[in-house]
């Protein structure tokens, strides 16, 4: 139980850090401020965070249900991320923020529901291998924190 409390705290901290950085953006900067190595604008990063978390939790839920997904041999993370960015292109920043918050609420609900035994089940991630269901929660918090740091650096440079 203590591990789940630590994971919840880490997920909450990463979301607060991201929201604090995002709150500094003007409406124009969402579509012009370049962040990170991908060359995304802040709006693209927001969509990426939402879709990545949603995908990671989808796989973790399948694993926890005893139906572990597999990663295709030809999986290309860059191509996947670019495709996800295109799918989010017509959404407003407000829509993406609301979706990110909803995905995080679902992530925290899943964290509450998953058993200690299920936390140890193997699952898949395109970069972190091997990984467990519990490890996915850590990756989500680290991933969001890394992108929050990129956003903070971009804001300092503007």
**Residue 39: what pLDDT?**
78
Burial class of residue 59, CB neighbours in 10 A (0-12, 13-18, 19+): buried
Task: Count the neighbouring beta carbons within 10 Å of the beta carbon of residue 123.
Answer: 23
Q: Are 35 and 41 in contact (CB under 8 A)?
A: yes
Q: Which residues pair with 40 in a beta bridge?
A: 35
pLDDT in tens, 6-35: 999 999 999 999 999 999 999 999 998 887
Q: Are 53 and 104 in contact (CB under 8 A)?
A: yes
**Which residues, other chains included, contact 83 with Cβ-Cβ below 8 Å and sequence gap of 6+?**
none
Among the listed residues 64, 40, 48, 47, the one whose alpha carbon sits nearest the alpha carbon of residue 112 = 64
- What are 94's two structure tokens? 């407000």
76-86 per-residue burial string, b: 16 or more CB within 10 A, e: under 16: eeeeebeebbe
Instruction: Give the start-to-end residue ranges of the domains of the chain.
Output: 2-157
Q: Please report where in the chains the tokens 């973790």 appear, as a residue.
A: 60
Q: Are 53 and 139 in contact (CB under 8 A)?
A: no
CATH architecture of 2-157: Up-down Bundle (1.20)
**Residue 1: what pLDDT?**
55
Question: E strand or H helix at 41, and its extent?
Answer: strand 40-41
Instruction: Say if residue 2's pLDDT is above 80.
Output: no
Among the listed residues 119, 98, 136, 149, the one whose alpha carbon sits nearest the alpha carbon of residue 11 = 136
pLDDT in tens, 37-93: 777 899 999 999 999 999 999 999 999 999 999 988 899 988 998 898 889 989 999
Instruction: Say if residue 150's pLDDT is above 80.
Output: yes
Instruction: Say if residue 153's pLDDT is above 80.
Output: yes
Which sign, positive or negative, has the C-alpha torsion 84, 124, 13, 149? Answer: negative
pLDDT in tens, 78-136: 899 889 888 998 999 999 999 999 999 999 999 999 999 999 999 999 999 999 999 99
């Amino acid at each position: 139980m203590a591990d789940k409390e630590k994971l919840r705290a880490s997920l909450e901290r990463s979301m607060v850090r991201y929201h604090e950085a995002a709150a500094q953006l003007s409406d124009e900067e969402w579509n012009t401020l370049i962040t990170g190595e991908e060359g995304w604008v802040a709006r693209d990063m927001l969509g990426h965070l939402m879709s990545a978390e949603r995908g990671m939790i989808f796989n973790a839920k399948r694993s926890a249900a005893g139906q572990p997904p597999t990663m295709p041999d030809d999986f290309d993370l860059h191509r996947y991320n670019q495709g996800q960015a295109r799918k989010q292109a017509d959404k407003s920043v407000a829509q993406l923020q609301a979706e990110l918050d909803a995905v995080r609420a679902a992530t925290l609900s899943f964290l509450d529901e998953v058993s200690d035994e299920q936390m140890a089940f193997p699952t898949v991630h395109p970069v972190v291998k091997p990984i467990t269901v519990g490890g996915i929660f850590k990756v989500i918090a680290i991933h969001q924190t890394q992108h929050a740091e990129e956003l903070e650096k971009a804001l300092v440079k503007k």
